[in-house]
Structure 1
């Protein structure tokens, strides 16, 4: 069995809010809240969380997801 990830502690350690973590994981904020309160992460979400754990340990988590999403105007 794999080691459980304390999602709330991970998120706080990298100074992300639930919205930013949800954006990184491709899910909605309420799903992040549910996982922080005991619902297990599975599949692709679990794999992304494992990548985030590694990035947090290396100090590179912010490179995975910008603080604010890019706007259409900024891309033009």
Structure 2
């Protein structure tokens, strides 16, 4: 898979705010903004974005992170379980 993910387009397609995506990625909202403006995603963030791309293809993006009150660490555990 190409490492270049159009994060803004992905976020718009699944209907997530920058805050929700930031929570899913365990980063702050400004990091999402920077990535939308060209800073490359790396490491665990890139892996989570790839998972989100695949989930978006089937309409399952909300299944990855359904509870916004969950800490991101707990969400990451649930995603990888």
Above 0.5 in TM-score? yes
TM-score by length of 2: 0.80
- Highest CA radius of gyration, 1 or 2? 1
Structure 1 runs (4+) greater than 6 angstroms displaced: none
Structure 1 counterpart of 2:75: none
Q: Distance in 2 between matches of 1:56 and 1:67?
A: 17
Aligned partners of 1:20 and 1:67 also within 8 Å: no
1:28 paired to 2:25? no
Written as runs of structure 1 = structure 2, the 5 A alignment for 1:1-16 is 2-16=2-16
Query: Which whole-Å deviations, capped at 9, do the CAs of 1:3-34 have from their partners, x for residues lacking one?
Result: 41000000000000000000000000000000
Question: Aligned residues, how many?
Answer: 71
Can you give the 5+ residue segments of structure 2 that lack an aligned partner in the other structure? 71-81
